[in-house]
Amino acid sequence: MRRKACKKNELPRSRAARYQKEFSFNPDAEHRGILLIKNDIEIVPEISVVHTPAHTEGGLTVLIETAEGKAAITGFCIIDENLNPPIQIKAMEMDVIPPGTTVNVYEAYDILLKVKDMADILLPLHEPGFASVKTIPTGA
């Protein structure tokens, strides 16, 4: 199958970007397997998503049942320090640090506490320590 040639200074549009644009104009329509998730839902046995709008309205956290316990891959822009703040922050009676950009800072604080309580293994989406490892260490 041949690709269409692009005009000068034009990049080919990715299929995903095209579907995303189509979906944004008509989110109630079924678009090539895109599922609009409005509530917490089990995707397959032992993998579910929880609505966690801490950073954006559509934020989701993925929960996975593992042999070591329930793992949570956070769907908001945080690092480990947000979930395990330094003593100076805890001294201000803050158990977590909300993301820098939030939908609502008070709700974001509560959402981080909720995610921290629901999982045994926490995998912050933007944790730089995970970028240099092949597998996430047990008990991350």
DSSP string, 70-89: EEEE-SSS--HHHHS--HHH
* pLDDT at residue 1, rounded to an integer: 43
All residues at 6 or more sequence positions from 49 whose CB lies less than 8 Å from its CB, including other chains: 37, 40, 41, 43, 60, 61, 62, 63, 75
Which residues of the chain carry a pLDDT beneath 70? 1-36, 136-140
- The CATH homologous superfamily of the domain defined by 37-130: Ribonuclease Z/Hydroxyacylglutathione hydrolase-like (3.60.15.10)
* pLDDT at residue 96, rounded to an integer: 95
Strand partners, 41: 49
* pLDDT at residue 123, rounded to an integer: 92
* pLDDT at residue 76, rounded to an integer: 85
Compute the mean pLDDT over every residue in the chain, rounded to the nearest whole number. 80
* pLDDT at residue 38, rounded to an integer: 72
Reported pTM? 0.72
* C-alpha–C-alpha distance, residues 15 and 2, integer Å: 15
Q: Where are the domains of the chain?
A: 37-130
